[in-house]
Amino acid sequence: MMNLHEEPVFDLCRLPTEVLCHIFIHCLPQTDYMLPNSKSPPMLLTRICRRWREVAVDMPSLWCRLSMNIDHADSRNWRQAVFGYDLWLKRAQGRPLSLEIMCIENDTTDLRNLLQAYISQILSLKVTFDRAVAPETLLNDLSALQELQVVIHCDFQIRHTLSSILTAISRLFTLRSLNFERLDYHSIKRISHLNLTNIDLFTSSPANIINFLQNFPTLSSLKIQMLVDGGLPCEPFTHSTLQTLSIQVIVRVLFRPAPTLVRLFNALTLPNLRVLRVEGGSWPCVEDLISHYRHVVR
């Protein structure tokens, strides 16, 4: 048994670079984005010893995910944060970036200036707008963006904000995945020209779901919240590329969910469906559905 007060038998700081790299990767938090924190990897890894710092700083894969939240009220904190974020992004060395950004009130222009040198690297972006001024400034000309999630908080001019954001999104021609719960069927028609494959959409009726699928023929995954209504039968439609469909049923007092679901699936043919999830409402015809599509539904 080794005496803990003695010098370690094996000096971790002298491990081969390849071994250190594997260790560092496994040290990273299992989250989509990482907050800059001197007590957590990857920043913690730069404080152990000079060797570890050199290896960590020269590993772009450690610095490709970042969560940014800047308090503009304190100008000193703002300057320190900007310096830290810029240093973090430089260490990514041109690799694709996944960013989470909190944009409050007048932050948009300053955040855009901070990110300008890295615009072509941003592959995935989650942005929360809280009373943001000119939110479209942050979304313009993201030439490499493939995944976008938009959250809007505390906005008393929601229609104007939505319009400006949609205008910016409509120009993101590389976008493939969109999560924007504020959107409804009528709003999303403004971006129907984009070649989206994954969409997370807000409330819609069965008829609007079918119309929506008609507008996005290349879609492979759709997550949607569906209002239960007492509408008329839907026009039949076949969508040949959809593989995953998730429906959260929003039940209203006067309507039962089962007839609405039956009406939707009686009209909708999905020959390549692999995964179906239905939450919030009973589904009395699941055996018929499995028999009809002959796919695994989970």
Instruction: Say whether pLDDT at 3 is over 50.
Output: no
Which pLDDT score is estimated for 182? 72
Scan for tokens 């040198």, then name that residue: 117
Q: Which two tokens stand for residue 52?
A: 């570890």
Instruction: Say whether pLDDT at 91 is over 80.
Output: yes
Which pLDDT score is estimated for 101? 93
Instruction: Say whether pLDDT at 4 is over 60.
Output: no
Instruction: Say whether pLDDT at 1 is over 50.
Output: no
Q: What is the DSSP string of 63-76?
A: GSEEEEE--TT-HH
CB 128 within 8 A of CB 151: yes
Which pLDDT score is estimated for 104? 80
DSSP 117: G
Q: Rounded distance, CA 86 to CA 161, Å?
A: 28
Question: Residues 6 or more apart from 25 whose CB is under 8 A from it?
Answer: 61, 62
Which pLDDT score is estimated for 252? 61
Which pLDDT score is estimated for 21? 93
pLDDT digits (tens, 9 = 90+) for 165-191: 999 999 999 999 999 877 766 777 889
Q: What is the pTM of this model?
A: 0.83
Instruction: Say whether pLDDT at 120 is over 70.
Output: yes
Q: Which two tokens stand for residue 208?
A: 């609007």
Question: Residues 6 or more apart from 173 whose CB is under 8 A from it?
Answer: 194, 195
Q: Rounded distance, CA 155 to CA 132, Å?
A: 8
CB < 8 Å & 24+ apart, contacts of 48-56: 48/13, 49/13, 51/13, 51/14, 52/13, 52/20, 55/17, 55/20, 55/21, 55/24, 56/24
Task: Report residue 296's pLDDT band, with 50, 70 and 90 as the boundaries.
Answer: very low
pLDDT digits (tens, 9 = 90+) for 208-261: 888 888 889 999 999 988 777 666 678 899 999 999 999 888 766 555 555 677
Task: Report residue 298's pLDDT band, with 50, 70 and 90 as the boundaries.
Answer: very low
